[in-house]
Structure 1
Protein backbone atom coordinates (compact mmCIF):
# COMPACT_ATOMS: atom_id res chain seq x y z
CA UNK A 1 0.00 0.00 0.00
CA UNK A 2 3.01 2.29 0.30
CA UNK A 3 3.16 3.07 -3.43
CA UNK A 4 -0.57 3.47 -4.02
CA UNK A 5 -2.76 6.51 -3.80
CA UNK A 6 -4.38 7.02 -0.36
CA UNK A 7 -7.84 7.03 -1.98
CA UNK A 8 -7.32 3.45 -3.20
CA UNK A 9 -8.39 2.18 0.22
CA UNK A 10 -11.57 4.24 -0.04
CA UNK A 11 -12.18 2.96 -3.56
CA UNK A 12 -12.01 -0.66 -2.41
CA UNK A 13 -14.59 0.05 0.27
CA UNK A 14 -17.08 1.62 -2.15
CA UNK A 15 -20.03 -0.54 -3.19
CA UNK A 16 -19.70 0.64 -6.78
CA UNK A 17 -16.71 2.02 -8.63
CA UNK A 18 -18.40 5.23 -9.75
CA UNK A 19 -19.11 6.31 -6.15
CA UNK A 20 -15.41 7.03 -5.72
CA UNK A 21 -14.42 10.23 -7.46
CA UNK A 22 -10.77 9.24 -7.47
CA UNK A 23 -11.27 5.99 -9.38
CA UNK A 24 -9.29 7.04 -12.44
CA UNK A 25 -6.52 8.56 -10.33
CA UNK A 26 -6.27 5.41 -8.24
CA UNK A 27 -5.85 3.24 -11.32
CA UNK A 28 -3.17 5.52 -12.72
CA UNK A 29 -1.29 5.46 -9.44
CA UNK A 30 -1.58 1.70 -9.07
CA UNK A 31 0.16 1.08 -12.40
CA UNK A 32 -2.60 -0.91 -14.14
CA UNK A 33 -2.31 -1.22 -17.92
CA UNK A 34 -4.59 0.96 -20.06
CA UNK A 35 -6.53 -2.03 -21.35
CA UNK A 36 -7.50 -2.96 -17.81
CA UNK A 37 -8.61 0.63 -17.15
CA UNK A 38 -10.82 0.55 -20.24
CA UNK A 39 -12.46 -2.70 -19.19
CA UNK A 40 -13.08 -1.35 -15.70
CA UNK A 41 -14.65 1.83 -17.14
CA UNK A 42 -16.93 -0.18 -19.44
CA UNK A 43 -18.06 -2.33 -16.53
CA UNK A 44 -18.73 0.78 -14.44
CA UNK A 45 -20.85 2.38 -17.19
CA UNK A 46 -22.76 -0.87 -17.72
CA UNK A 47 -23.63 -1.16 -14.04
CA UNK A 48 -24.58 2.51 -13.89
CA UNK A 49 -26.93 2.11 -16.86
CA UNK A 50 -28.56 -0.94 -15.30
CA UNK A 51 -29.23 0.86 -12.03
CA UNK A 52 -30.61 3.90 -13.86
CA UNK A 53 -32.94 1.66 -15.87
CA UNK A 54 -34.26 0.18 -12.61
CA UNK A 55 -35.23 3.64 -11.38
CA UNK A 56 -36.37 5.04 -14.76
CA UNK A 57 -38.08 2.31 -16.78
CA UNK A 58 -38.12 2.46 -20.57
CA UNK A 59 -41.12 4.27 -22.07
CA UNK A 60 -42.69 1.93 -24.62
CA UNK A 61 -44.17 4.22 -27.27
CA UNK A 62 -45.63 2.76 -30.44
CA UNK A 63 -44.80 4.04 -33.90
CA UNK A 64 -48.15 5.81 -34.12
CA UNK A 65 -47.56 7.59 -30.81
CA UNK A 66 -44.05 8.58 -31.86
CA UNK A 67 -45.28 10.08 -35.14
CA UNK A 68 -48.11 11.91 -33.37
CA UNK A 69 -45.72 13.44 -30.83
CA UNK A 70 -43.10 14.42 -33.42
CA UNK A 71 -45.74 15.93 -35.73
CA UNK A 72 -47.19 17.96 -32.86
CA UNK A 73 -43.73 19.26 -32.01
CA UNK A 74 -43.21 20.13 -35.67
CA UNK A 75 -46.40 22.18 -35.75
CA UNK A 76 -45.39 24.04 -32.58
CA UNK A 77 -41.88 24.70 -33.87
CA UNK A 78 -43.26 25.95 -37.19
CA UNK A 79 -44.80 28.88 -35.32
CA UNK A 80 -41.38 29.85 -34.00
CA UNK A 81 -39.55 29.21 -37.28
CA UNK A 82 -42.08 31.15 -39.35
CA UNK A 83 -41.79 34.09 -36.97
CA UNK A 84 -37.99 34.04 -37.09
CA UNK A 85 -37.95 33.89 -40.90
CA UNK A 86 -40.26 36.89 -41.25
CA UNK A 87 -38.40 38.77 -38.51
CA UNK A 88 -35.19 38.35 -40.48
CA UNK A 89 -36.73 39.11 -43.88
CA UNK A 90 -38.92 42.05 -42.88
CA UNK A 91 -37.26 43.41 -39.76
CA UNK A 92 -33.59 42.99 -40.69
CA UNK A 93 -33.48 42.88 -44.50
CA UNK A 94 -36.34 45.35 -44.97
CA UNK A 95 -38.54 43.26 -47.25
CA UNK A 96 -41.76 45.05 -48.14
CA UNK A 97 -44.97 43.11 -47.55
CA UNK A 98 -48.46 44.61 -47.45
CA UNK A 99 -50.00 41.29 -46.30
CA UNK A 100 -47.63 40.49 -43.43
CA UNK A 101 -50.11 38.48 -41.36
CA UNK A 102 -51.17 36.38 -44.34
CA UNK A 103 -47.54 35.80 -45.29
CA UNK A 104 -46.74 34.68 -41.73
CA UNK A 105 -49.69 32.28 -41.64
CA UNK A 106 -48.81 30.85 -45.05
CA UNK A 107 -45.15 30.42 -44.06
CA UNK A 108 -46.09 28.63 -40.83
CA UNK A 109 -48.40 26.27 -42.72
CA UNK A 110 -45.72 25.57 -45.34
CA UNK A 111 -43.13 24.71 -42.67
CA UNK A 112 -45.58 22.51 -40.77
CA UNK A 113 -46.72 20.58 -43.85
CA UNK A 114 -43.20 20.07 -45.19
CA UNK A 115 -41.88 18.98 -41.79
CA UNK A 116 -44.78 16.61 -41.16
CA UNK A 117 -44.35 15.03 -44.58
CA UNK A 118 -40.65 14.52 -43.94
CA UNK A 119 -41.29 12.96 -40.53
CA UNK A 120 -43.88 10.65 -42.07
CA UNK A 121 -41.43 9.37 -44.68
CA UNK A 122 -38.76 8.86 -42.02
CA UNK A 123 -41.16 6.94 -39.80
CA UNK A 124 -42.49 4.70 -42.58
CA UNK A 125 -39.33 3.90 -44.55
CA UNK A 126 -36.64 4.44 -41.95
CA UNK A 127 -33.10 5.30 -42.99
CA UNK A 128 -33.64 4.88 -46.79
CA UNK A 129 -36.26 7.63 -46.63
CA UNK A 130 -33.48 10.19 -46.21
CA UNK A 131 -32.65 9.69 -49.87
CA UNK A 132 -36.33 9.96 -50.82
CA UNK A 133 -36.72 13.19 -48.85
CA UNK A 134 -33.61 14.63 -50.48
CA UNK A 135 -34.91 13.83 -53.97
CA UNK A 136 -38.48 15.04 -53.37
CA UNK A 137 -37.82 18.23 -51.41
CA UNK A 138 -34.45 19.22 -52.89
CA UNK A 139 -33.36 17.31 -55.98
CA UNK A 140 -36.64 17.50 -57.90
CA UNK A 141 -37.96 20.65 -56.20
CA UNK A 142 -35.21 23.14 -57.06
CA UNK A 143 -35.46 22.80 -60.87
CA UNK A 144 -39.27 22.94 -60.86
CA UNK A 145 -39.62 26.10 -58.75
CA UNK A 146 -39.06 28.36 -61.74
CA UNK A 147 -36.99 30.87 -59.81
CA UNK A 148 -33.98 30.77 -62.14
CA UNK A 149 -35.29 28.91 -65.19
CA UNK A 150 -38.84 29.34 -66.53
CA UNK A 151 -40.99 26.23 -66.45
CA UNK A 152 -41.49 26.48 -70.22
CA UNK A 153 -37.73 26.09 -70.76
CA UNK A 154 -37.49 22.87 -68.74
CA UNK A 155 -37.71 19.33 -70.16
CA UNK A 156 -41.10 17.67 -70.28
CA UNK A 157 -40.43 15.57 -67.21
CA UNK A 158 -39.85 18.62 -65.02
CA UNK A 159 -42.81 20.50 -66.51
CA UNK A 160 -45.08 17.62 -65.51
CA UNK A 161 -43.42 17.34 -62.11
CA UNK A 162 -43.94 21.06 -61.42
CA UNK A 163 -47.70 20.52 -61.27
CA UNK A 164 -47.45 18.41 -58.09
CA UNK A 165 -44.05 19.31 -56.63
CA UNK A 166 -44.62 20.78 -53.11
CA UNK A 167 -41.99 23.50 -53.29
CA UNK A 168 -43.39 24.78 -56.58
CA UNK A 169 -46.86 25.20 -55.09
CA UNK A 170 -45.50 26.89 -51.95
CA UNK A 171 -43.41 29.30 -54.02
CA UNK A 172 -46.41 30.18 -56.16
CA UNK A 173 -48.43 31.12 -53.07
CA UNK A 174 -45.64 33.27 -51.64
CA UNK A 175 -45.17 35.00 -55.00
CA UNK A 176 -48.89 35.74 -55.05
CA UNK A 177 -48.78 37.30 -51.57
CA UNK A 178 -45.72 39.42 -52.24
CA UNK A 179 -46.21 40.55 -55.84
CA UNK A 180 -49.85 39.95 -56.85
CA UNK A 181 -51.75 41.48 -53.93
CA UNK A 182 -52.54 38.00 -52.54
CA UNK A 183 -54.87 37.13 -55.43
CA UNK A 184 -56.12 33.57 -55.32
CA UNK A 185 -55.83 32.90 -59.05
CA UNK A 186 -52.18 34.01 -59.02
CA UNK A 187 -51.13 30.88 -57.12
CA UNK A 188 -52.34 31.42 -53.57
CA UNK A 189 -55.42 29.23 -53.87
CA UNK A 190 -53.56 26.42 -55.58
CA UNK A 191 -50.74 26.55 -53.05
CA UNK A 192 -53.12 26.47 -50.08
CA UNK A 193 -55.15 23.59 -51.53
CA UNK A 194 -52.04 21.57 -52.34
CA UNK A 195 -50.67 22.06 -48.84
CA UNK A 196 -53.96 20.87 -47.33
CA UNK A 197 -54.00 17.85 -49.64
CA UNK A 198 -50.37 17.08 -48.77
CA UNK A 199 -51.04 17.27 -45.05
CA UNK A 200 -54.07 14.96 -45.27
CA UNK A 201 -52.20 12.51 -47.51
CA UNK A 202 -49.20 12.45 -45.16
CA UNK A 203 -51.43 11.85 -42.12
CA UNK A 204 -53.42 9.05 -43.78
CA UNK A 205 -50.36 7.38 -45.23
CA UNK A 206 -48.21 7.72 -42.12
CA UNK A 207 -50.71 6.70 -39.46
CA UNK A 208 -52.18 3.99 -41.70
CA UNK A 209 -48.86 2.27 -42.41
CA UNK A 210 -47.53 2.72 -38.88
CA UNK A 211 -50.78 1.40 -37.42
CA UNK A 212 -50.37 -1.66 -39.64
CA UNK A 213 -46.76 -2.03 -38.41
CA UNK A 214 -47.90 -1.92 -34.77
CA UNK A 215 -50.79 -4.29 -35.48
CA UNK A 216 -48.39 -6.84 -36.97
CA UNK A 217 -46.26 -6.71 -33.83
CA UNK A 218 -43.34 -4.90 -35.45
CA UNK A 219 -42.59 -2.85 -32.37
CA UNK A 220 -39.69 -0.42 -32.14
CA UNK A 221 -38.72 -1.55 -28.62
CA UNK A 222 -37.21 -5.03 -28.07
CA UNK A 223 -38.63 -7.51 -25.61
CA UNK A 224 -38.25 -6.84 -21.93
CA UNK A 225 -34.89 -7.92 -20.56
CA UNK A 226 -34.01 -8.27 -16.91
CA UNK A 227 -30.71 -6.55 -16.08
CA UNK A 228 -28.01 -8.71 -14.67
CA UNK A 229 -27.35 -8.40 -10.98
CA UNK A 230 -23.96 -6.90 -10.48
CA UNK A 231 -21.71 -8.88 -8.21
CA UNK A 232 -20.87 -7.24 -4.92
CA UNK A 233 -17.28 -6.02 -4.81
CA UNK A 234 -14.94 -7.95 -2.63
Structure 2
Protein backbone atom coordinates (compact mmCIF):
# COMPACT_ATOMS: atom_id res chain seq x y z
CA UNK A 1 0.00 0.00 0.00
CA UNK A 2 1.53 3.32 -1.08
CA UNK A 3 1.99 6.07 1.46
CA UNK A 4 -0.39 8.99 1.26
CA UNK A 5 1.02 12.25 -0.19
CA UNK A 6 -1.28 14.32 2.06
CA UNK A 7 1.34 14.88 4.75
CA UNK A 8 3.93 16.16 2.26
CA UNK A 9 1.40 18.43 0.58
CA UNK A 10 0.39 19.90 3.93
CA UNK A 11 4.02 20.55 4.87
CA UNK A 12 4.65 22.28 1.53
CA UNK A 13 1.56 24.39 2.02
CA UNK A 14 2.70 25.38 5.51
CA UNK A 15 6.12 26.34 4.17
CA UNK A 16 4.53 28.42 1.43
CA UNK A 17 2.34 30.18 3.96
CA UNK A 18 5.21 31.43 6.12
CA UNK A 19 5.26 35.11 5.17
CA UNK A 20 8.43 36.93 4.22
CA UNK A 21 9.09 40.46 5.44
CA UNK A 22 11.50 42.64 3.51
CA UNK A 23 12.77 45.37 5.81
CA UNK A 24 15.52 47.66 7.03
CA UNK A 25 16.66 47.73 10.64
CA UNK A 26 16.16 51.46 11.18
CA UNK A 27 12.80 51.79 9.43
CA UNK A 28 9.92 52.69 11.78
CA UNK A 29 7.51 51.48 9.11
CA UNK A 30 9.06 48.01 9.16
CA UNK A 31 8.89 47.92 12.96
CA UNK A 32 5.14 48.56 12.89
CA UNK A 33 4.73 45.41 10.81
CA UNK A 34 7.02 43.37 13.09
CA UNK A 35 5.01 44.46 16.15
CA UNK A 36 1.74 43.53 14.44
CA UNK A 37 3.07 40.08 13.51
CA UNK A 38 4.14 39.63 17.14
CA UNK A 39 0.68 40.60 18.39
CA UNK A 40 -0.80 37.91 16.16
CA UNK A 41 1.89 35.36 17.00
CA UNK A 42 2.79 34.91 13.34
CA UNK A 43 6.12 33.34 12.39
CA UNK A 44 7.83 34.97 9.43
CA UNK A 45 11.10 35.07 7.53
CA UNK A 46 12.87 38.41 7.71
CA UNK A 47 15.02 39.68 4.84
CA UNK A 48 17.20 42.71 5.59
CA UNK A 49 17.54 45.07 2.64
CA UNK A 50 20.43 47.34 1.72
CA UNK A 51 18.50 50.44 0.69
CA UNK A 52 21.48 51.75 -1.28
CA UNK A 53 21.57 48.53 -3.28
CA UNK A 54 18.01 47.18 -3.29
CA UNK A 55 17.52 43.54 -4.17
CA UNK A 56 15.85 42.46 -7.38
CA UNK A 57 13.22 40.73 -5.26
CA UNK A 58 12.27 43.95 -3.47
CA UNK A 59 12.03 45.86 -6.77
CA UNK A 60 9.92 43.07 -8.23
CA UNK A 61 7.59 42.91 -5.22
CA UNK A 62 7.21 46.69 -4.84
CA UNK A 63 7.74 48.22 -8.29
CA UNK A 64 5.59 51.28 -7.48
CA UNK A 65 7.38 52.68 -4.40
CA UNK A 66 10.50 50.48 -4.35
CA UNK A 67 10.52 50.73 -0.55
CA UNK A 68 10.31 48.58 2.57
CA UNK A 69 8.34 47.13 4.21
CA UNK A 70 6.97 44.51 1.87
CA UNK A 71 5.16 41.47 3.27
CA UNK A 72 4.98 38.49 0.93
CA UNK A 73 2.23 36.01 1.75
CA UNK A 74 1.67 32.91 -0.41
CA UNK A 75 3.78 34.54 -3.10
CA UNK A 76 1.72 37.73 -3.13
CA UNK A 77 3.33 41.02 -2.02
CA UNK A 78 1.66 43.68 0.12
CA UNK A 79 3.35 47.09 0.44
CA UNK A 80 2.87 50.20 2.62
CA UNK A 81 2.94 49.71 6.38
CA UNK A 82 -0.65 50.67 7.25
CA UNK A 83 -2.00 48.54 4.39
CA UNK A 84 0.08 45.64 5.70
CA UNK A 85 -1.24 46.15 9.24
CA UNK A 86 -4.83 45.89 8.02
CA UNK A 87 -3.94 42.79 5.99
CA UNK A 88 -2.31 41.13 9.02
CA UNK A 89 -5.39 41.88 11.13
CA UNK A 90 -7.70 40.29 8.56
CA UNK A 91 -5.47 37.38 7.44
CA UNK A 92 -4.90 36.25 11.04
CA UNK A 93 -8.25 37.40 12.36
CA UNK A 94 -8.52 34.69 15.01
CA UNK A 95 -4.94 35.01 16.27
CA UNK A 96 -3.90 37.32 19.08
CA UNK A 97 -6.18 40.31 19.62
CA UNK A 98 -7.78 42.59 17.00
CA UNK A 99 -5.56 45.42 15.74
CA UNK A 100 -8.48 47.39 14.32
CA UNK A 101 -11.74 47.73 16.27
CA UNK A 102 -14.72 45.65 15.19
CA UNK A 103 -17.14 48.57 15.54
CA UNK A 104 -17.36 50.51 12.23
CA UNK A 105 -17.28 53.93 13.89
CA UNK A 106 -14.30 53.08 16.11
CA UNK A 107 -12.55 51.57 13.10
CA UNK A 108 -13.10 54.77 11.13
CA UNK A 109 -11.80 56.86 14.02
CA UNK A 110 -8.67 54.70 14.30
CA UNK A 111 -7.96 55.42 10.64
CA UNK A 112 -8.67 59.11 11.29
CA UNK A 113 -6.03 59.32 14.03
CA UNK A 114 -3.48 57.51 11.90
CA UNK A 115 -4.09 60.09 9.17
CA UNK A 116 -3.79 62.82 11.82
CA UNK A 117 -0.34 61.53 12.66
CA UNK A 118 0.78 61.61 9.03
CA UNK A 119 -0.78 64.97 8.13
CA UNK A 120 -0.69 67.02 11.35
CA UNK A 121 1.75 65.56 13.87
CA UNK A 122 4.79 64.12 12.09
CA UNK A 123 5.55 67.12 9.80
CA UNK A 124 6.14 69.70 12.59
CA UNK A 125 8.11 67.19 14.69
CA UNK A 126 10.37 66.45 11.72
CA UNK A 127 10.72 70.18 11.00
CA UNK A 128 11.66 70.77 14.65
CA UNK A 129 14.41 68.17 14.29
CA UNK A 130 15.78 69.50 10.98
CA UNK A 131 15.78 73.28 11.58
CA UNK A 132 17.24 75.80 13.98
CA UNK A 133 16.58 79.31 15.25
CA UNK A 134 13.14 80.77 14.64
CA UNK A 135 12.08 77.90 12.34
CA UNK A 136 12.91 75.39 15.06
CA UNK A 137 10.99 77.39 17.68
CA UNK A 138 7.92 77.66 15.44
CA UNK A 139 8.05 73.96 14.64
CA UNK A 140 8.36 73.19 18.36
CA UNK A 141 5.23 75.21 19.14
CA UNK A 142 3.35 73.57 16.26
CA UNK A 143 4.41 70.13 17.55
CA UNK A 144 3.20 70.98 21.06
CA UNK A 145 -0.16 72.11 19.66
CA UNK A 146 -0.72 68.79 17.85
CA UNK A 147 0.56 66.73 20.77
CA UNK A 148 -2.01 68.42 23.01
CA UNK A 149 -4.73 67.24 20.61
CA UNK A 150 -3.36 63.71 20.93
CA UNK A 151 -3.09 64.02 24.73
CA UNK A 152 -6.76 64.90 24.91
CA UNK A 153 -7.69 61.92 22.73
CA UNK A 154 -5.66 59.50 24.86
CA UNK A 155 -7.16 60.93 28.07
CA UNK A 156 -5.53 58.57 30.56
CA UNK A 157 -6.15 55.35 28.61
CA UNK A 158 -3.39 52.75 28.68
CA UNK A 159 -3.34 52.63 24.88
CA UNK A 160 -5.21 54.42 22.11
CA UNK A 161 -6.73 51.01 21.40
CA UNK A 162 -7.92 50.69 25.01
CA UNK A 163 -6.26 48.08 27.20
CA UNK A 164 -4.30 46.57 24.30
CA UNK A 165 -2.14 47.92 21.50
CA UNK A 166 -4.17 48.72 18.41
CA UNK A 167 -3.88 50.33 14.98
CA UNK A 168 -3.25 53.86 16.27
CA UNK A 169 -0.67 52.67 18.81
CA UNK A 170 1.26 50.79 16.14
CA UNK A 171 1.23 53.81 13.85
CA UNK A 172 2.37 56.20 16.60
CA UNK A 173 4.65 53.63 18.24
CA UNK A 174 7.96 54.75 16.69
CA UNK A 175 7.51 58.20 18.28
CA UNK A 176 7.93 56.54 21.69
CA UNK A 177 11.65 55.99 21.02
CA UNK A 178 12.35 58.51 18.22
CA UNK A 179 11.22 61.61 20.15
CA UNK A 180 13.61 60.91 23.08
CA UNK A 181 16.43 60.56 20.51
CA UNK A 182 15.48 63.89 18.92
CA UNK A 183 15.35 65.48 22.39
CA UNK A 184 18.82 64.17 23.22
CA UNK A 185 20.33 65.42 19.96
CA UNK A 186 18.65 68.85 20.06
CA UNK A 187 19.04 69.29 23.82
CA UNK A 188 15.39 70.21 24.44
CA UNK A 189 12.36 68.34 25.80
CA UNK A 190 9.22 67.94 23.72
CA UNK A 191 7.16 65.49 25.80
CA UNK A 192 7.32 65.90 29.58
CA UNK A 193 5.34 64.06 32.24
CA UNK A 194 4.05 67.39 33.55
CA UNK A 195 2.71 68.73 30.23
CA UNK A 196 1.68 65.41 28.66
CA UNK A 197 0.94 62.93 31.49
CA UNK A 198 -1.13 60.57 29.32
CA UNK A 199 1.32 60.54 26.39
CA UNK A 200 4.27 60.17 28.74
CA UNK A 201 2.67 57.14 30.37
CA UNK A 202 1.64 55.74 26.98
CA UNK A 203 5.23 55.85 25.77
CA UNK A 204 6.35 53.78 28.74
CA UNK A 205 3.45 51.33 28.39
CA UNK A 206 4.12 50.90 24.69
CA UNK A 207 7.87 50.31 24.99
CA UNK A 208 7.41 47.78 27.83
CA UNK A 209 4.62 45.78 26.12
CA UNK A 210 5.53 42.17 25.19
CA UNK A 211 5.05 42.65 21.44
CA UNK A 212 7.40 45.67 21.38
CA UNK A 213 9.96 45.04 24.12
CA UNK A 214 13.01 43.35 22.66
CA UNK A 215 11.94 44.31 19.14
CA UNK A 216 13.40 47.79 18.84
CA UNK A 217 16.42 48.93 16.85
CA UNK A 218 19.64 49.51 18.81
CA UNK A 219 18.88 53.01 20.07
CA UNK A 220 22.54 54.09 20.28
CA UNK A 221 23.04 53.10 16.63
CA UNK A 222 19.83 54.89 15.72
CA UNK A 223 20.98 58.07 17.46
CA UNK A 224 24.29 57.84 15.61
CA UNK A 225 22.29 57.59 12.40
CA UNK A 226 20.03 60.57 13.15
CA UNK A 227 22.77 62.95 14.35
CA UNK A 228 24.38 63.44 10.91
CA UNK A 229 20.93 63.73 9.32
CA UNK A 230 20.18 66.79 11.47
CA UNK A 231 23.63 68.21 10.79
CA UNK A 232 23.18 67.76 7.04
CA UNK A 233 19.82 69.56 7.11
CA UNK A 234 21.21 72.44 9.17
CA UNK A 235 24.26 72.74 6.93
CA UNK A 236 22.01 72.83 3.87
CA UNK A 237 20.00 75.71 5.33
CA UNK A 238 23.05 77.89 6.05
* Structure (1 or 2) with the greater strand fraction: 2
User: Is TM more than 0.5 here?
Assistant: no
TM-score by length of 2: 0.30
Highest RCO, 1 vs 2 (Cα 8 Å, sep ≥ 6): 1
Bigger Rg, structure 1 or 2: 1
- TM-score, length of structure 1 as denominator length: 0.30
